[in-house]
Amino acid sequence: MNHSSVTELQSNPSARANLGSSLTESATASTAHDLEICEVSKQFGSLKVLENIDLRVKAGEFIAIMGPSGCGKTTLLRIIAGLEGMTSGEIRLQEKDITALSVHQRNTPMVWQSFALFPHLNVQQNIAFGLTLMTHRKAEVKRKVREIAAMMHLEPLLDRRISQLSGGQKQRVAIARALITEPKILLLDEPMSALDPHLRVRMQGELKRLQQSLGISFIYVTHNQNEAFSMADRVVVMNGGRIEQVGTPAEIYSRPATHFVAEFVGNNNLFDGEVISVSPDRVTVRCPQGTMQALWREQPHQVGDRVTIVVPAERVALASTEGSVENRLENKIDATLRGFEFMGSQVIYFLETDTGYEVRMIRQEALDHTLAVPINSRLQLVWKTQDTVLLGERIQ
């Protein structure tokens, strides 16, 4: 898929007249939700794989589900597709209960990590495969294949064998095969993991533009944060078979709701401590690394409470010259520079406090503008109170 394919989808009436229009009409039905996952649980014997999963997907929404390996995200996708049964719960697709329906009755196709294309069939036959399972005339199948091939910019490749395709071309064929059945929702299980990094970045934008043009809901499973944040309208973070947080990429990144999300997403520094004073808008916390202030927004805290202060690494700065703005910030700790990692447009600095705790600081700068101080230099780190997030006591 490339920019020209999406442009053609948007501007070419013949390519979109039938397939694209029907997909959009399906997505803009009267229901406010394309998918409702209600208290879904899954057990294998005594092992709880999913526990009380509750999620609503709005019409035409791009949802990314991410989490560590084994958190249950792929199992959830398989349950939605009908490939896996559930222990309890209910799934509704555009207000219709599909819990007991078979995979072929749901029309919730899945694009796999391996693409799952048939090597003995050419591109045209792979795309048409979903229609061969239904009752369609040959002329209609041929017309639909041409339409989706034009949409996905695959027309020159229709007679090629799968072994002759690049990774990006295989992905386009897999998506075309899923879309040709005019699904109400499309499920994608880490479909870019087999692509090289450069192609993966390019495909992210193309996939998002395709989803917006079609107007149907995508549910996209990934362990890659960049993929989730760049494409999704909302992100679901899972851990241990449960949903930890659901929110926009900005909400997930800047306001983690749990310790797991704070540690899993972004580059956050977490400081455990005890509340020593409370004012109307902020809390003062004594931590082993020093006394810190944080804003509280959702729940009040009392003196003596155990809490965790979350500070994004990109919000940490250096106290520099006398009288500078940084020197007037409320939060300050001393640390020793132990090393740095060049990441292209930014540099991650690793520092160590007197208690042996690692603190990370991120600066947007080129390599030739890295800190002009030697390793093992003593530095003072500062940050704004409003740049902190306050969580309850960490559960070990």
* CATH number of the domain bearing residue 65: 3.40.50.300
* Domain C-terminal end among 254, 278, 310: 254
Is the same domain home to 55 and 201? yes
Domain boundary among 254, 288, 311: 254
For residue 262, being part of any structural domain is answered with no
Residue range of the domain that includes 357? 268-391
User: Same domain, yes or no, for 38 and 140?
Assistant: yes
| Three state DSSP letters for the chain | CCHHHHHHHHHCHHHHCCHHHHHHHHHCCCCCEEEEEEEEEEEECCEEEEEEEEEEEECCCEEEEECCCCCCHHHHHHHHHCCCCCCEEEEEECCEECCCCCHHHHCCCEECCCCCCCCCCEHHHHHHHHHHCCCCCHHHHHHHHHHHHHHCCCHHHCCCEHHHCCHHHHHHHHHHHHHCCCCCEEEEECCCCCCCHHHHHHHHHHHHHHHHHHCCEEEEEECCHHHHHHHCCEEEEEECCEEEEEECHHHHHHCCCCHHHHHHCCCEEEEEEEEEEECCCEEEEEECCEEEEEECCCCCCCCCCEEEEEEEHHHCEECCCCCCCHHHCCEEEEEEEEEEEECCCCEEEEEECCCCCEEEEEECCCHHHCCCCCCCCEEEEEECHHHCEEECCCCC
Query: Which of 254, 276, 292 finishes a domain?
Result: 254
Same domain, 234 and 342: no
- 376 & 230 share domain: no
- Whether 330 is covered by a domain: the verdict is yes
Please list the rounded mean pLDDT of every run of 10 residues in the chain (396 residues).
42 46 47 90 94 96 95 96 96 95 90 87 90 74 89 90 90 89 91 81 86 92 92 97 97 94 95 93 93 82 93 90 56 94 86 95 71 87 92 80
Tell whether 134 is covered by a domain.
Answer: yes
Same domain, 247 and 295: no
Pair (101, 168) in one structural domain: yes
Q: Is residue 259 in some structural domain?
A: no
197 and 325 in one domain? no
pTM: 0.84
Same-domain status, 293 and 204: no
Domain annotation covers residue 185: yes
Query: Which pLDDT does position 186 carry in this prediction?
Result: 94
User: How many domains does one find in the chain?
Assistant: 2
